[in-house]
């Protein structure tokens, strides 16, 4: 039976070419967040290295690994076990001839609970992910971890209300989104930071469920990642946030019993009419 009080954390940092250094950056922040009481700790998307999808270059395929052999997974499993924390780990996955933008959920005993593969794959200037990743074939996932039922989407998934609702219908207690998002190379005047937040705050309101988003920061060859990682409560209010440049973590605590009662009281799931949604 998971604890009914849940403390979550989101991490934010810049990442470079050295995978081991990136893993150590994340591990250090995980230790700090765990010391502050966090039980489920979310690193950003594809923290193994630079966000390579801004261009189409075949040499990046060599950076993919089978999910359970990925160095980010094997390095963080013992840390999760030692600290007793849950860590959703975003990876570049190779499965035979297929490549995916994936996530391995590590439970608080260090065990890998399985793999989620990103469902929605963007394709545009600076975010050419369709060159690298097949659309995910796992369907959405909600993980019954030691510390609660955790639903996780990956970056572009976070813009789709269907993703959040599907995970809510699967019984999620909270929703988490590891992210790599920043400047738009085709339009210097376009800053999506505010609407990025608003989309997920809407998911929180409509599902009466906290939402946690972890982004990277830094200038990667002119593509500037805008951070602004945040935690929103069940009403969509931002209760913790980081700015556009800082490296660090944020935490927030939630009462799962209250959230379950409050979700029922609002009636969003009672009053659904899926027969009209086709």
The two tokens of residue 74 are 């094997």
CA distances from 225 to 44, 90, 205 (A): 11, 17, 26
> Which residues, 6 or more positions from 248, have their beta carbon under 8 angstroms from its beta carbon?
11, 12, 13, 29, 242
pLDDT tens for the chain, 278 residues long, are 455 899 999 999 999 999 999 999 999 999 999 999 999 999 999 999 999 999 999 999 999 999 999 999 999 999 999 999 999 999 999 999 999 999 999 999 999 999 999 999 999 999 999 999 999 999 999 999 999 999 999 999 999 999 999 999 999 999 999 999 999 888 888 899 999 999 999 999 999 999 999 999 999 999 999 999 999 999 999 999 999 999 999 999 999 999 999 999 999 999 999 999 98
Could you tell me whether strands 40-42 and 5-12 are parallel, antiparallel, or unpaired per DSSP bridges? parallel
Could you tell me whether strands 217-220 and 230-232 are parallel, antiparallel, or unpaired per DSSP bridges? unpaired
Q: Which residues are catalytic?
A: 45, 118, 155
Q: What is the pTM of this model?
A: 0.97
For residue 43, the 8-state DSSP code is P
Report the DSSP beta bridge partners of residue 224: 219
The two tokens of residue 55 are 């261009």
- Contact, 79 vs 71, CB < 8 A? no
In the prediction, which pLDDT does 3 show?
A: 54
CA distances from 246 to 26, 66, 175, 223 (A): 14, 32, 23, 17
Could you tell me whether strands 142-145 and 123-124 are parallel, antiparallel, or unpaired per DSSP bridges? unpaired
The two tokens of residue 35 are 């010391």
The two tokens of residue 270 are 């009672």
In the prediction, which pLDDT does 188 show?
A: 83
């Amino acid at each position: 039976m998971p604890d009914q009080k849940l403390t979550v954390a989101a991490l934010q940092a810049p990442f470079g070419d050295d995978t081991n250094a990136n893993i150590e950056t994340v591990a250090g922040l995980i230790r700090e967040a765990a010391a502050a009481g966090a039980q489920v700790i979310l690193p950003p998307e594809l923290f193994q290295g630079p966000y390579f999808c801004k261009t189409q270059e075949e040499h990046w395929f060599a950076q993919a690994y089978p999910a359970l052999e990925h160095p980010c997974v094997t390095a963080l499993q013992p840390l999760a076990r030692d600290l007793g924390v849950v860590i959703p780990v975003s990876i570049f996955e190779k499965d035979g001839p297929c490549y995916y933008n994936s996530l391995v959920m590590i439970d608080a005993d260090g065990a890998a609970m399985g793999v989620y593969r990103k469902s929605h794959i963007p394709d545009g200037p600076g975010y050419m992910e369709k060159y690298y990743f097949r659309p995910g074939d796992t369907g959405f996932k909600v993980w019954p971890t030691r510390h609660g039922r955790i639903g996780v989407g990956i970056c572009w998934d976070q813009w789709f209300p269907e993703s959040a609702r599907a995970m809510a219908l699967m019984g999620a207690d909270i929703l988490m989104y590891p992210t790599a998002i920043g400047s738009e190379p085709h339009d210097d005047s376009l800053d999506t930071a505010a609407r990025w937040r608003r989309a997920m705050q809407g998911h929180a309101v409509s599902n009466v469920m906290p939402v946690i988003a972890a982004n990277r920061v830094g200038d990667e060859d002119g593509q500037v990642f805008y951070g602004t990682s945040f935690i929103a409560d069940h009403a969509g209010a931002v209760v913790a946030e980081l700015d556009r440049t800082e490296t660090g973590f944020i935490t927030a605590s939630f009462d799962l019993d209250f959230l379950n009662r409050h979700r029922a009281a609002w009636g969003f799931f009672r009053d659904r009419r899926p027969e009209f949604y086709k």
